[in-house]
């Protein structure tokens, strides 16, 4: 119990980290089993990335435009072996990430078929 109080005291005393000129949000895609992916996005600096997922194998988009996902934890159900990519944009600076919100961009390491992937978004 005293460790929990110490950690809480440090968080209260230090407060949230300061936002500098380049801050970030983090996304993680983790394969849970052969049909489910867990998507986690943390955004402690309020970059507000807007994200969509693209099933490259069969052309599906989630969520359908004009909707997008924000910070939170989501479960994505997919077919085994399908290639799932993310596309995002940070409205604060207009930068595209992954395939971009429209899914037409090119990317390195923004797709997953199995395992996990982690990406950081930097915003101004």
Cβ atoms of 85 and 54 within 8 Å: the answer is yes
Domains of the chain: 19-123 (2.60.40)
Whether pTM > 0.85 for this model: the answer is no
Q: In sequence order, which residues have a C-beta less than 8 Å from that of residue 23 and are 6 or more positions away?
A: 45, 47, 122, 123
Q: How many CA atoms lie within 13 A of 72 on its CB side?
A: 8
Question: Whole-angstrom Cα distance, residue 123 to residue 121?
Answer: 6
How many other CB atoms sit within 10 Å of the CB of residue 92?
A: 14
Per-residue pLDDT tens digits of the chain, which is 124 residues long: 333 322 222 233 333 444 444 557 787 888 888 777 888 888 877 777 888 999 999 999 999 989 988 888 888 888 888 888 989 888 878 888 889 999 999 988 888 887 777 877 676 6
């Amino acid at each position: 119990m005293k460790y929990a109080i110490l950690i809480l005291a440090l968080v209260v005393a230090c407060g949230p980290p300061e936002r500098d000129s380049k801050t970030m949000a983090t996304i993680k895609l983790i394969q849970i089993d052969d049909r489910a992916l867990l998507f986690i996005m943390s955004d402690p600096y309020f970059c507000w990335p807007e994200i969509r997922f693209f099933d490259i194998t069969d052309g599906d988009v989630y969520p359908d435009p004009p909707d997008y996902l924000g910070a939170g934890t989501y479960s994505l159900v997919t077919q085994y072996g399908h290639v799932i990519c993310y596309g995002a944009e940070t409205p604060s600076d207009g930068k595209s990430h992954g395939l971009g919100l429209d899914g037409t961009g090119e990317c390195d390491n923004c797709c997953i078929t199995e395992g996990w992937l982690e990406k950081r978004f930097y915003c101004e």
